Amino acid sequence: MQSRNPKKSTRSRIIESAKKLFAEQGYQKTTVIDISRQVGLSEAALYEYFKNKEDLLLTIPDLWVSDLLADLDGQLFGIKGTVNKLRKFFWWYLRQVEQSPLDAKIVYLILKTNANFMTTEVFSNVKILYSHLLDIFEEGRESGELRPNLKPYLARAIFIGTMDHIITRWFLKNMSYSLFDNLEELFNLMVDGFRNPSTIAANHDGEEANGIKLNKEC
């Protein structure tokens, strides 16, 4: 879309510069002078747009997580089957991380350790994001696709824990590989434990499992 202003607003430019610097150097090591110089302003000017440095930090991933949330419903729409929904969620989320690595890095490596994180808008949006998973797990239990005794919040702990772990690891290894390497195998290994043993076929190539199929891998 074409904006009336050929130039981006000052506020946007501050956010973009801060995002890069925070993601590259970390929050503490990035100074307000660093940011203002990169934007081409005096330090004091930043305080016209943000209450303080932390306010600037928190503003950055706020929009990102809001966008995620807005996108999620549409992504899951029309997908049938709990495992298929879980797969979609997994791939979709990792794709978002790979496409917005700066935002994601700030969320994963800076925000989560911030004492005020739990009082932010970001946090409550993340909670909503995660609550979708609870619904999916519950639905799968009721439909019989997942184990009848599966507790949704336990399955969610495994699901999110695994996702967070591979994302954090990816950042700590400087994003030197693709998040999608071996993802299919990882997903199946994780989700197979959730499946209803009455209907499961130990199926690791992504095909839909219909009926009972005993699989010997010898």
Partner DNA sequence: ATGAGAGCTTAATAGCATTAGGTTTTAAAT
Partner DNA sequence: ATTTAAAACCTAATGCTATTAAGCTCTCAT
Which C-beta is closer to its own copies: that of 48 or that of 208?
208
- As measured in angstroms, the least distance from the Cβ of 13 to its own copies is 25
User: Interface with DNA includes 43 (CB under 7 A)?
Assistant: yes
Rounded alpha-carbon distances, angstroms, from residue 132 to 76, 122, 129, 136, 163: 10, 16, 6, 6, 15
Q: Is 79 exposed, middle or buried (0-12, 13-18, 19+ CB in 10 A)?
A: middle
Residue 146 pairs with which residues in a beta bridge? 195
- Please name the residue that has the structure tokens 């991380």: 97
User: Interface with its own copies includes 169 (CB under 8 A)?
Assistant: yes
User: Interface with DNA includes 12 (CB under 7 A)?
Assistant: no
User: Coil, helix or strand for 146?
Assistant: strand
C-alpha 154/C-alpha 193 separation (Å) is 12
How many residues belong to the site for DNA (CB under 7 A)?
A: 17
What does 30 interact with, of its own copies, DNA, none (CB < 5 to 8 A by kind)? DNA
| CB-CB contact of 65 with 111 (8 Å) | no
C-alpha 185/C-alpha 203 separation (Å) is 11
> Which range touches its own copies (CB under 8 A), out of 37-45, 67-75, 76-84, 103-111?
103-111
What does 217 interact with, of DNA, its own copies, none (CB < 5 to 8 A by kind)? its own copies
Residues binding its own copies (CB under 8 A)? 25-26, 28-29, 108-110, 112-113, 115, 117-118, 147-151, 154-155, 157-158, 160-166, 168-169, 172, 182, 185-186, 189-194, 197-198, 202, 204, 207, 210-212, 214-218
